[in-house]
Amino acid sequence: MSVIALAGNQNSGKTTLYNKLTGSNQHVGNFPGVTLEKKEGQLKKHKDISIVDLPGIYSLSPYTLEEVVTRDFLLKEKPDLILNIVDATNIERNLYLTLQLMELSIPMVIALNMMDEVTASGNSIDVKKLSSHLGIPVVPISASRGEGISELIDVIIRASKDNLCPKKLDFCIGEVHKAIHSISHLIYDQAVAAGYPPRFAATKLVEGDEPTFKSLAITENQIHIIEHVVKDMEEALKTDREAALADMRYCYIEKICSEAVVKRQETKEQRRSEKIDRVLTHKYFGIPIFLGIMFFIFWMTFHVIGAPLQELLETLIDGLTETASSGLIGMGVSQWVHSLVIDGIFAGVGSVLSFLPIIVVLFFFLSFLEDSGYMARVAFLMDKLLRKIGLSGRSFVPMLIGFGCSVPAIMATRTLASERDRKMTIVLTPFMSCSAKLPIYGMMTAAFFPDKAALVMISLYVTGIIVAVLSGLLLKNTIFKGEPVPFVMELPAYRIPARRSVLIHMWEKGKDFIQRAFTVIFLGTIIIWFLQSFNWSLDMVENSSKSILAYLGSIVAPIFIPLGFNDWRASTALITGLTAKEAVVSTLTVLTGAVSDIELSQALFAIFTPLSAFAFLTFTLLYMPCIAAFAATKRELGSMKYAVLTALYQTATAYAAGTLVFQIGSLFIGG
């Protein structure tokens, strides 16, 4: 089977092209770092050709995880072809990676993307001249519109079969030329033995690339010679080694573009983005605007769109529950079977499923913001704030992912260059409210704050951010002393998100939510039903307060007195929430015996007051996310000890915050 590596800069449309070529349902995001690992799929109608979607990178220098993954794959797996996607609207910057990929001596095709934007702005690119200069087939396309894809597939198949490597471009001159060729002769045999193209290896050694020194087993004597050659080059050019190589590449790129590219003006998308950014990234108004946008999203989700859809689904679930109950009674099943199915499974799983519309609507808006390019601006805005707590704006990327799910957010910290930043971000990211907590918020706001749902939601999200900030200030002056790494992020042009992309994102979130409802929540509901329906003698009890679960929950319940609630059902729900946060809702539904959301809301008033309910929400917002997040933390920190300490810190913070909410609130409004 032929293997094609899809490589390119971030925000070049790489993942969109991957979806077009493979028919994959992978989410497309207009946000740096969204593709963290390589993904593989078969070329449509060509099962013998596999396409590997590599992380978006700007160079082959292994400074970040994305660059390491891409470089290792290209050097070690040796694909049959590199499909290099180039953003035609930023061709100079994109060709910098192209020149490095060419040094790998692997057959290559360039997909010149976003050509529709180039021509719409009155600019032009001579594709034949560009192809002639580089010695590589160049195919103009528009991945988002599907233009040029069939032509690209034909060229890919032909290039893969012909196995033609890029022509060797010796575009280095003067002192850089002397350094590269001197080192190339010195390490030629070692490079060939290690499977490295000699020119690529020599260039990396000139850069001072540590992995290349190790892979080629460069001797002490060779290191001395290489450093002497590089020092002579730096003194002659009066610049450092990396700048010398960058200047060499950009000089050649300028030469190519002067002959092949006619740029009369910026593209329409670039001009529009500059105008929008004057407002959305304003020094003083940028963050308030972001908060206003989030408040609007929550208002639309919990009042205008999501709430009516949720009520409709609740009605359907209630009708199905009544039908199932009548059917079981008609069949003459025993009391415990009826209770298990109706009071356990239908009540527990149904209560969680009723929040599906809210999940889908919320992620429609969040996906729109992400794919439009706005979330990249938010990371830019947050850089100044994050630096005050010892992190860079790049840490906002996993934190942003944390609003969806803590597990991929924790894994996304791999992209951070600094070990200190990575560990600190792992500790703080779970304070971002994940989507699994939305059913809890929906349940409590429906009962206690029905007219202020959007306000309560935005206050919880902001509380999570504030707690992360305060924790960061504490940690940077104690455990994680040091300075954050510099933050550089490309701001992609604003674009109207593709309908397919947004729908795919909504589908993925909805599917994940349903899967959890019928796996983890389903199993947890049965266990909770059993423990609250039987006593230690395994006799079925009429009153759940005499059950096994009541006994176990009552042991833990007193701990939460400072938070304003001392009911065993509340403490039990928090414990089951460690398996999955949605389990809090199903547990309370089963334990209160509610068969509808109206009954559940009424039952909650026997457990909480409005103030203690908000303290409960604060605790659920901040305490240890779930077992899956704990496992991800252990894997990324590499230690059970540190994972346990992280979970304890998060839970202790949640307890302190919940206590403060209730105790301070009691001074003003009473418990």
DSSP 471-512: HHHHHHTTTS-S-PPP-----PPP-PPPHHHHHHHHHHHHHH
Summarize the confidence of residues 593-600 as an average pLDDT: 79
As a whole number of angstroms, the distance between CA 382 and CA 466 comes to 13
* Tokens 């006619």 -> residue: 262
Contact in structure between 189 and 69 (CB atoms under 8 Å): no
DSSP 316-343: HHHHHHHHHHHHHHHHT--HHHHIIIII
Summarize the confidence of residues 373-387 as an average pLDDT: 79
How many Cβ atoms sit within 10 Å of the Cβ of residue 40? 13
| Six token digits for residue 375 | 């979330």
- Model pLDDT for residues 271-295, shown as the tens digit of each residue: 888 899 899 988 889 889 988 888 8
Q: Where are the alpha helices (DSSP H) in 389-432?
A: 396-402, 406-412, 419-428
- Which residues on neighbouring strands pair with residue 83, listed in sequence order? 6, 109
Phi and psi (nearest 5°) for 537? -90, 5
For 496-559, strand residue ranges (E) read none
Nearest to 657 by CA among 465, 439, 376: 465
Summarize the confidence of residues 12-27 as an average pLDDT: 76
Mean pLDDT is lowest, of 98-102, 253-257, 557-561, 635-639, for 635-639
pLDDT band of residue 25 (cuts 50, 70, 90) is very low
- Model pLDDT for residues 48-76, shown as the tens digit of each residue: 888 988 888 888 876 666 777 788 889 88
Q: Where are the alpha helices (DSSP H) in 339-373?
A: 347-353, 356-372
pLDDT band of residue 30 (cuts 50, 70, 90) is very low
Contact in structure between 583 and 634 (CB atoms under 8 Å): no
Q: Long-range pairs for 664-667 at CB < 8 Å and ≥24 separation?
A: 665/611, 665/614, 665/615, 666/564, 666/611
As a whole number of angstroms, the distance between CA 241 and CA 310 comes to 61
pLDDT of residue 202: 92
As a whole number of angstroms, the distance between CA 207 and CA 202 comes to 9
> Amino acid letter at 26?
Q
- Model pLDDT for residues 235-273, shown as the tens digit of each residue: 998 888 888 888 888 899 999 999 998 877 777 777 888
Q: Inter-axis angle of helices 520-533 and 583-592, to 10 degrees? A: 30
Looking at the domain covering 2-162, what would its CATH class be? alpha beta
Q: Which residues contact 220 (CB under 8 A, 6 or more apart)?
A: none
Summarize the confidence of residues 612-630 as an average pLDDT: 90
Task: Give the DSSP letter of residue 540.
Answer: B
Mean pLDDT is lowest, of 89-98, 113-122, 396-405, 560-569, for 396-405
Angstrom CA distances, 386 to 71, 291, 476, 649, stand at 30, 16, 11, 20
- On whether the pTM is more than 0.75, the answer is no
The CATH number assigned to the domain with range 174-262 reads 1.10.287.1770
Residue 204 sits at the vertex; the CA angle it makes with 198 and 207, to the nearest 5 degrees, is 145
Nearest to 403 by CA among 638, 247, 621: 621
Q: What is the mean pLDDT of the chain?
A: 85
Q: Which residues contact 299 (CB under 8 A, 6 or more apart)?
A: 454
> Amino acid letter at 666?
S
Does residue 374 surpass a pLDDT of 80? yes
As a whole number of angstroms, the distance between CA 445 and CA 614 comes to 9
Looking only at Cα atoms, what is the longest distance across the chain? Answer: 95
Burial class (CB in 10 A: 0-12, 13-18, 19+), 163: exposed
CATH 1.10.287.1770 in the chain is located at 174-262
CA atoms within 13 A on the CB side of 482: 14
| Six token digits for residue 619 | 């605790």
- Model pLDDT for residues 139-195, shown as the tens digit of each residue: 999 988 889 999 999 999 998 888 777 777 767 778 888 999 899 999 999 999 988
pLDDT of residue 368: 86
CA atoms within 13 A on the CB side of 367: 22
Does residue 489 surpass a pLDDT of 50? yes
CATH 3.40.50.300 in the chain is located at 2-162
Contact in structure between 356 and 513 (CB atoms under 8 Å): yes
pLDDT of residue 7: 93
Task: Give the DSSP letter of residue 582.
Answer: T
- Which residues on neighbouring strands pair with residue 142, listed in sequence order? 147
| Six token digits for residue 37 | 């690992």
Does residue 535 surpass a pLDDT of 60? yes
* Tokens 């429906």 -> residue: 446
pLDDT of residue 38: 60
Give the containing element (helix H, strand E) for 41.
strand 39-43
The edge-to-edge listing of strands for the beta sheet with 39-43 is 39-43, 46-53, 2-8, 81-87, 108-113, 138-140
As a whole number of angstroms, the distance between CA 381 and CA 267 comes to 24
